[in-house]
Structure 1
Amino acid sequence: MNTSEYPIDDDNNDELFEHHSFIADKGQTPLRIDKYLMNRIENATRNKIQAAAKDGSIYVNGTPVKSNYKVKPFDEIKVLLEHPPYEYLLTPEDIPLDIVYEDDELLVVNKPAGMVVHPGHGNYSGTLINALIYHFDNLPNNSSNRPGLVHRIDKDTSGLLVIAKTEQTMTHLSKQFFDKTSEREYVALVWGNVEEDRGTIEGHIGRHPKNRLQNTVFEGDDIDKGKPAVTHYKVIERLGYVTLVSCKLETGRTHQIRVHMKYIGHTLFNDERYGGDQILKGTTFSKYKQFVENCFKILPRQALHAKTLGFVHPKTGKQLQFDSPIPEDMQQCIEKWRNYAKHVD
């Protein structure tokens, strides 16, 4: 998905802004455009899409279409609206930050689960960036015009992020992440018994061709549709029908751990987007079903925490290492599985 802050002029010279842009795949079967866009735009309802079509805001190959238009292979689809995308309209918000470390060059924050890192479709306020620009002036923009942001983690993933305060620090830290010299370790609870004590997952990751809200691993002739991704994992504890694992990232693709663990048959526990909010392993006993549903209530998100972060300080040249405790919701869920595993053969 592309968003653009550049205005587009239509025939009436009214200023319109491109919010979303897609090109239909060559294998696209005829599908109503409202259904097509629901699979591709996060938090979009069919009513909103139909309203946008009624207003003449959905264009295919340069022409406005109705919501019953059937998408065909290679169609160029754009959603154009009269205001700039909200993600470019940054508003400072007085949201408390859990700052683990701070100096003149950078800060390290511990992001709670549920907080979006930067504004995007459906999440225009309450993000980490809204908090950062309230607490800090003149943060440098990254290549996507996002103040201070060197890297990101998903909304429902908790854990550590480094924020740059100066242009030089942004450049230096971004290069470390690009060169794969930064250290990032995550802790995840995944479905199933991970048999190997440790291993490496290599698989090119790209946007899922049928569900644009997911990423997937591409193999064989399709390998060029994804970007190289490498995850090293190690078993921390086996808990019966789930396993607690440590994952170290060599690359930083979107949803990398979530996609790679699903790829090897161990979807993250309660990862709704990738099917982990279903009972994927275990018995058919109704008592077990109730137990898992209780775990889902305790941990209403994917079981993933960015636990450690290491990098070289841009000014001092010293290696910095930070560690954050597993948050309470995830810890409680692990404890429940630990107790359950003791009573199961």
Structure 2
Amino acid sequence: MPVTTQAERRELRSAVRDFLESVYPPLSSETRVGAGDKLDDATWARVSGEIGLPGLVVPASEGGQDLGVTEAAVVLEETARVLFAQPFLSSSVLATIAIKESGEGAAFLSRLASGSLIATLCLDDDPDMPVTATRVDTCWQLNGAKELVLDATLAGSFVVSVALDGETALLLVDADQVTIEPYEGIDLTRTIARVRFDAAPAIRLGGDQTELVARLGHLGAVAASAELTGLADRAMTMAVEYAQTRVQFGRPIGSFQAVKHLCADMLTIVESSRAATAAAAASADDRPDELAVTAAIAKAWTSEQCPLATELLIQILGGTGYTWEHPAHLLLRRARTLAVTFGDAADHRERLAELLAAR
């Protein structure tokens, strides 16, 4: 995996931002509500063919760019800024890393890199129907259900964690073998669903994946933190632009000290969230022993602070921010959802305390 410099990551950020702004519709309720219900084939084809985002973390030998979590976090920020409703986080980052690091997923990596295969992770058991795996001849069958599955309606395959004989296994299941039950959530731009398995045939990926599944949980927290940072950054940008142009009492509202303070608070949120997320992403790439701690720090912070930035945007916008037509509510909805995805702030503070106490 090549090591990129800060200058190269800035170039990556700029290139992805420019590309997404050129191929994705302008941010509005009209263009984003319901956009995550199905795959936008034209946009996904361009994202795959022109800039190669689905292959970002895929090895070069399989047609990918062979980059790491650090670079993926940069791209996740940018996809969040435009409320990208396609499966980059779920498939191109988390599911791809799961398949790549399982040790037996090489046959799927080239399809993931090209964007022709979309996969998603299923980690959280339905407490009333935990998933079980049964060996049938040379195959496996899954029964049970998983909760809180991202982009389930877009996926062609599901990477499923299962407790098996004192170990944790990862198994791959085709989408036509499962039942998908979407939730009615507050995020109107991304589908989250319950996925049920009824004697679903599956392929096992490697042996005991207990450590990998734990790592995937941490990586999910890092990825969610990166998206939260991108949302806060977009909220800040929109707030500053509005404060510079909205005139009240004969002067731009950005000249009033109270509004200046709110914008400054948003900048503090963005920069601190970006720093915490970058540290966690760097741990994932270079210091895996530190990942549990740095991921908990990043997610505990971003889960509380980044939704606040989207709320401050609505406050600065005033009555405009409360309208359906303005996209501010979509930023808030995505931020509130991500704040509890892969653990909320309280979960991660508790985890951090346990990790530090055990040292």
Question: Could you tell me the TM-score, scaled by structure 2's length?
Answer: 0.24
> Greater strand percent: which structure?
1
Question: Could you tell me the TM-score, scaled by structure 1's length?
Answer: 0.25
Which structure has more relative contact order (CA 8 Å, sep 6+)? It is 2
